[in-house]
Structure formats: structure tokens, C-alpha cells
Amino acid sequence: MQLLVIGFLTAIAFWIVMMKMGIGKFVRLGWKADLVISGVMAALFFGTFSGMVTGIIAGIFLSLFLSVAKIIGRLSAPSS
């Protein structure tokens, strides 16, 4: 349970940084952004089992956040 919470908080922190950089860039990349972000998270926490689990869980949460952001972007886009 603790790893899940730590992974979620890590994902939130990374999400805030992504918002500052421009979330649209990440949303447009789709699965490529998911792959790179998950790899970066795993690399950041490499060294212990709990670190790797935290990184992977954070990558999964960020993938979900980006998917939701893409859906919200489609719903809020003006239809032409």
C-alpha cells in the first residue's frame, strides 16, 4: 500500500512538471510519451526493488493521466 501511495505522489509531482512544460506536447506524443516516462521513472528509482516498483507505478499513473487528458482534450475541442 505504501508503494502505491508513493508511486501516486511521484506521478503527481511529475505531472506538475509536465503541466509547467506544456502538457499538450506530451499528450500529442501518445504511447511514445508513456514509454519514455515509464523508462525515466524506472531509471530514477533504479537500485532497489521498492524503488523500481515505485517508478513503474508512477509510470502507470502518468500513463492513465495522459490518457484522461487526451480524452478531455477531445471532448473540449470545438467541433468544426
Question: What string of pLDDT tens digits covers the 80 residues of the chain?
Answer: 888 999 899 899 988 988 899 888 888 888 898 888 888 888 888 888 988 888 888 888 998 998 898 888 877 766 65
Q: Does the residue 42 lie in any domain? A: yes
Percentages (nearest 5) of helix, strand, coil residues in the chain: 85, 0, 15
Q: Does the residue 60 lie in any domain? A: yes
| Residue 33: predicted pLDDT | 86
Number of domains in the chain: 1
Q: Does the residue 32 lie in any domain? A: yes
| Residue 61: predicted pLDDT | 92
Q: Which amino acid is at 40?
A: V
Output the nine-digit C-alpha cell for 4: 502505491
Q: Does the residue 51 lie in any domain? A: yes
Residues 6+ apart with CB under 8 A from 24: 73
Q: Does the residue 79 lie in any domain? A: no
Segments forming the whole domain that contains residue 20: 2-71
| Residue 44: predicted pLDDT | 84
Q: Does the residue 43 lie in any domain? A: yes
Q: Does the residue 77 lie in any domain? A: no
